[in-house]
Amino acid sequence: MKLAMIGFGQAGGKIVDRFLDYDDRTNSGIVRAAIAVNSAKADLMGLERIPQDNRVLIGQARVKGHGVGADNELGAEIAEEDIDEVQNAIDAIPTHEVDAFLVVAGMGGGTGSGGAPVLAKHLQRIYTIPVYGLGVLPGTDEGGIYTLNAARSFQTFVREVDNLLVFDNDSWRQTGESVEGGYEQINEEIVRRFGLLFGAGEVSGDQEVAESVVDSSEIINTLSGGGVSTVGFASEEVDLNTGGGLLSRFTGDGSGDDDLDAANTTNRITSLVRKAALGRLTLPCEIEGTERALLVLGGPSEYLNRKGIERGRKWLEEETGSMEVRGGDYPREKPEVAAAILLSGVTNVPRIKRLQQVAIEAQDNMDDIQAESEENLEELVEDDEDELEPLF
Ligand code: GDP
């Protein structure tokens, strides 16, 4: 499907930048337009792919291009004040050619955390196409303020979008590596997963027609109904250019091998589907109770078959308990078979409950510290017997 992507804040801008790169590399055609919005000029300048004219600096009157620190209330305020500048950039893109908006932001910071929900609300008022969010949760080692920001942004963002796709930095940190050091790799993981998913609805004329193509409306239907989504992914390298016969081409004999190939293909698909659903999700959660799901199988068409996808789909129905599991293929000439599973409307998410708990503790601590420091300052400045008087 064709998306208008708007990256809000530093993480949002960088991720949209990577999506443009992915689009170029894979010819998937999902990014119809890309915009970056930030209150920090340096972050906008650091982007590589997003066209200069589509980089919008907001809040100049308030923060003079220096960003909002990690103050997401200020981030929300300046987004509201300067929403017209963002709208001007959106006016310049052909929104009639777009299937949906995707607003991307890190939820732990300031500009994106506060601004992304404001923008989503604005877009919902003006446009009839769906507005999706891609929200990134901070690592647990980033500290209380980031957790508090993320918990508050999450609540608000979910309410303002048609669906919030969540990616949790914490569960993607490499052992021994700080989240910061690994952003490049993490961003690549993000675009691979969401790229395969959204690319499925965008099979162009020169690509082979899939046996059972996923189209944009199936992605939209899976995401409709709102709530929170997570994505599972698994892939396996395969050889390209094996032609239709696969093994039989190498062994040179007849139809018996073709049967074997079909069975292999089906088995590969079903095991990839299991790996994708039971492995690391973009937001870790219990998949049982998922409301709707979509299975996309990408790869060279000779490695895809209807039976495998149908089996994978049935298995997902059983695991999730959902009656609405869609599935289809996405042929592409890349030497890998990959399964992406969109689980939409997940509700059993212990990670979010923990995030909220830590956020509440951080909030209480911050209130205590502030009250204490006011008291301490008063004690320092005022003389004990109150004998001195200030000048005015
Ligand atoms: P903002 O510019 O004020 O919106 O804040 P940032 O986007 O810099 O940071 C918000 C949060 O996003 C951080 O707490 C990190 O968890 C996360 N983050 C920052 N940069 C990246 C990135 O390149 N990739 C990912 N996945 N997360 C990032």
Report the separation in Å between the CA atom of 144 and the middle of ligand 1, taken as the mean of its atom positions. Answer: 15
| Residue identifier of the C-alpha nearest atom 19 of ligand 1 | 11
Do 228 and 161 fall into the same domain? Answer: no
Report the separation in Å between the CA atom of 101 and the middle of ligand 1, taken as the mean of its atom positions. Answer: 20
Do 54 and 178 fall into the same domain? Answer: yes
Q: Which of 151, 166, 199 is the last residue of a domain?
A: 199
Do 186 and 269 fall into the same domain? Answer: no
State whether ipTM is beyond 0.85.
yes
Report the separation in Å between the CA atom of 184 and the middle of ligand 1, taken as the mean of its atom positions. Answer: 12
State residue 203's pLDDT score: 65
Distance (Å, rounded) from C-alpha 28 to C-alpha 367?
49
Q: Which helix (H) or strand (E) holds 106?
A: strand 100-106
Do 131 and 234 fall into the same domain? Answer: no
Q: Which domain holds residue 271?
A: 216-344
**Which of 120, 115, 114 is CA-nearest to residue 133?**
120
Ligand 1: nearest atom to the Cα of 72: 3
Do 132 and 281 fall into the same domain? Answer: no
Report the separation in Å between the CA atom of 149 and the middle of ligand 1, taken as the mean of its atom positions. Answer: 12
Q: Which residues have CB under 6 Å of ligand 1?
A: 9-11, 14, 106, 108-113, 136, 138-139, 142, 146, 169, 183, 186-187
Q: Taking the chain, what is the end-to-end CA distance rounded to the nearest angstrom?
A: 65
Q: How many domains does the chain have?
A: 2
State residue 333's pLDDT score: 86
Ligand 1: nearest atom to the Cα of 106: 12
Distance (Å, rounded) from C-alpha 133 to C-alpha 117?
8
| Residue identifier of the C-alpha nearest atom 9 of ligand 1 | 109
Is 372 assigned to a binding site? no
Report the separation in Å between the CA atom of 268 and the middle of ligand 1, taken as the mean of its atom positions. Answer: 36
Q: How far is CA 307 from CA 7, 128, 278, in A?
A: 39, 37, 21
Distance (Å, rounded) from C-alpha 371 to C-alpha 248?
77
Beta strands at 228-237 and 336-344: parallel, antiparallel or unpaired: antiparallel
Q: Which helix (H) or strand (E) holds 57?
A: strand 55-57
State residue 181's pLDDT score: 62
* Residue 383: inside a domain: no
- In tens digits, the chain (392 residues) has pLDDT values of 999 999 999 999 999 999 999 999 998 899 999 999 999 999 999 999 999 999 999 999 999 999 999 999 999 999 999 999 999 999 999 999 999 999 999 999 999 999 999 999 999 999 999 999 999 999 999 999 999 999 999 999 999 999 999 999 998 887 666 656 689 999 999 999 999 999 987 765 555 555 577 889 999 999 998 999 999 999 999 988 655 444 434 444 444 455 658 889 999 999 999 999 999 999 999 999 999 999 999 999 899 999 999 999 999 999 999 999 999 999 888 899 999 999 999 999 999 999 999 999 999 998 889 889 988 999 999 998 889 999 99
Do 184 and 230 fall into the same domain? Answer: no
* Residue 170: inside a domain: yes
Is 112 assigned to a binding site? yes
Is 13 assigned to a binding site? yes
Distance (Å, rounded) from C-alpha 105 to C-alpha 131?
14
Is 244 assigned to a binding site? no
Strand ranges (E), 198-335: 228-237, 292-299, 324-331
